[in-house]
Amino acid sequence: MKALWSKRSLKYGSNTFLLIVIVLTVVAMVNFVSTKHHHRFDLTKGKLYSLADQTVQVLKNLKKDVKVIAFYREGSGQELRDRLQEYDYRSDRFSFEFVDPDKNPEKAKLYGIRSYKTIVVQSGTKEEKIREDSEKELTNAILKVTREGNKVIYFVEGHGENRTDDSGKEGYSYVKKGLEDANYDVKTVLLAQEGKVPEDCAILVVSGAQRAFLSNEIEMIETYIKQGGDAFFLFDPGGDTGLEDMLKTWGIEVGRDVVVDVSGIGRLFGIGGVGVPIAGEYGAHPITEKHKGVMTFYPLARSVSFEANGRTDISGTELAKTSSSSWAESDPNVLKGGEVRRDAGEKGGPISLSVAVTVEANAEAKGASEEDPEKKQARLVVFGDSDFAKNRYFPQQGNGDLFLNCISWLAEEEELISIRPKEAGFNPINLTKAQGRNLFLFSVILLPLAVIVAGTVVYVKRR
């Protein structure tokens, strides 16, 4: 036996066997770890195959178990399966299963399934059925089944405001759709007729008013805010609604001007001229923390700034700011023609276009809010432009996300502040005639020719 173990072949053989066992063990451990902790790289321009920031935030903040049941024929729905695996990886409270309605008709009948490719999202006793397998629809369904009740957002009417039922380019129907997707109820209110801000109002929105408010309407809004109500104001250059003076009470200055931007950034992106300022700089605030590196643009805007003036019961942040090549023009008529230049006394950029302010409710108002004794603060967001959220601009750059993030902050749902899921777009590669010719020569002629030459050389050498 000793002689056997002393043989060189046996020693080498045992060492090789041991090395193979070690390698296989390492490979198995790496494979096990990779299944639990993996990372995918998405090289697409819009990160179309990565979960959007909104989805990640929703999954991260799940407080209830959520289950998705996908009723698909066996062997189909691989793209949905891959997406759901990403969801499952992000949260321990998320799970999913695929059910073939033909093989499990009892379960299909239990959930009232009448067609293939129906997805059921459930949490507790709440259930939502969807027919689209996009990330946007899935995430919205999760929001609907996990939220306790729907908060109501009222849009004020009667002064020429933007209408949420207008599906034209100048309407606000995209805003309404975005809010409803996030599980908010959207309603309108005519304050002069109602006599007060409705009791169930979570957020009051005044967007693009063209005519002045009545004095009693202003008092209704002021009382609502003093009692801890949250409000979103979007003004446009020109005119005076009367709300501008009311907002001065809380350190908010809505400028009687129009912001001009001569940096040329807007024209570079085909957005507009000097009357369309671009914001790429944002204040440090929960609303804008996800917007670093994302542009927003504002067709005809007025400046909005904040100054606490030593008061301790208010605090605010200037949100979106223009470039240093802009200023607050005191004469809006200059945009109608002629030379656009900054005059002495006009404030130079960066110019603030929006602010977010927190107001401590006064003692009298606290006592009046018996239904919500914990409500001690009012939240206000003020923009110097309402056009940026109109249907023609809402999907562009970060405009829509910024509007919806303002709503999330006003509703005290900071966990929903995010950049929403993106959808695949059409991104053609435009080549010049010379570039097309060179590409043809390289791929169709030179590359195959090089393979033929290399093969010929190898053949000759072997001969």
The CA distance from 212 to 61, in Å, is 42
Q: What does pTM read for this prediction?
A: 0.74
Please name which of 132, 175, 125, 119 lies closest in space to residue 146, comparing C-alpha atoms: 125
> Do 140 and 158 belong to one domain?
no
Q: How many CA atoms lie within 13 A of 233 on its CB side?
A: 29
> Do 308 and 403 belong to one domain?
yes
| 99, β-bridge pairs | 71
> Do 106 and 161 belong to one domain?
no
pLDDT score recorded for residue 409 = 95
**Domain end (from 121, 146, 171):** 146
> Do 119 and 265 belong to one domain?
no
> Do 331 and 201 belong to one domain?
yes
Q: Roughly what angle, to the nearest 10 degrees, separates helices 399-410 and 173-181?
A: 50
Q: Distance between terminal CA atoms of the chain?
A: 53
Q: 444 lies in a domain?
A: yes
Please name which of 328, 300, 323, 320 lies closest in space to residue 403, comparing C-alpha atoms: 320
Q: What letter does residue 37 receive in the DSSP assignment?
A: S
pLDDT score recorded for residue 427 = 47
SS3 content of the chain, % helix, strand, coil (to 5): 35, 20, 45
User: Residue 137 CB: number of other CB atoms within 10 A?
Assistant: 17
Please name which of 248, 238, 242 lies closest in space to residue 217, comparing C-alpha atoms: 242
pLDDT score recorded for residue 416 = 79
Amino acid at 186: V
pLDDT score recorded for residue 445 = 83
User: Residue 119 CB: number of other CB atoms within 10 A?
Assistant: 23
> Do 84 and 173 belong to one domain?
no
The domain total for the chain is 4
Q: What letter does residue 352 receive in the DSSP assignment?
A: B
CATH of the domain at 325: 3.40.50.880
> Do 238 and 359 belong to one domain?
yes
pLDDT score recorded for residue 437 = 78
pLDDT score recorded for residue 366 = 47
pLDDT tens digits, the chain, 463 residues: what are they? 555 555 556 565 667 777 788 888 888 777 766 665 555 556 555 555 678 888 888 899 899 999 999 999 999 999 999 999 999 989 999 999 999 999 999 999 999 998 999 999 999 998 999 998 888 889 989 988 998 878 999 999 999 999 999 999 999 999 999 999 888 999 999 999 999 999 999 999 999 999 999 999 999 999 999 999 999 999 999 889 999 999 999 999 999 999 998 877 666 555 667 888 999 899 999 999 888 888 899 999 999 999 998 899 999 999 999 988 899 988 877 777 667 788 888 898 899 999 999 998 764 454 444 455 455 789 999 999 999 999 999 998 899 999 999 999 999 988 778 766 655 544 455 556 677 777 778 778 888 888 888 888 887 877 6
pLDDT score recorded for residue 165 = 95
Burial (CB count within 10 angstroms: exposed 0-12, middle 13-18, buried 19+), residue 198? middle
Question: Is 108 in contact with 101 (CB distance < 8 Å)?
Answer: yes
Range of the domain at 255: 152-416
The CA distance from 373 to 97, in Å, is 43
Q: 424 lies in a domain?
A: no
The CA distance from 261 to 351, in Å, is 10
pLDDT score recorded for residue 273 = 74
Question: Is 120 in contact with 101 (CB distance < 8 Å)?
Answer: no
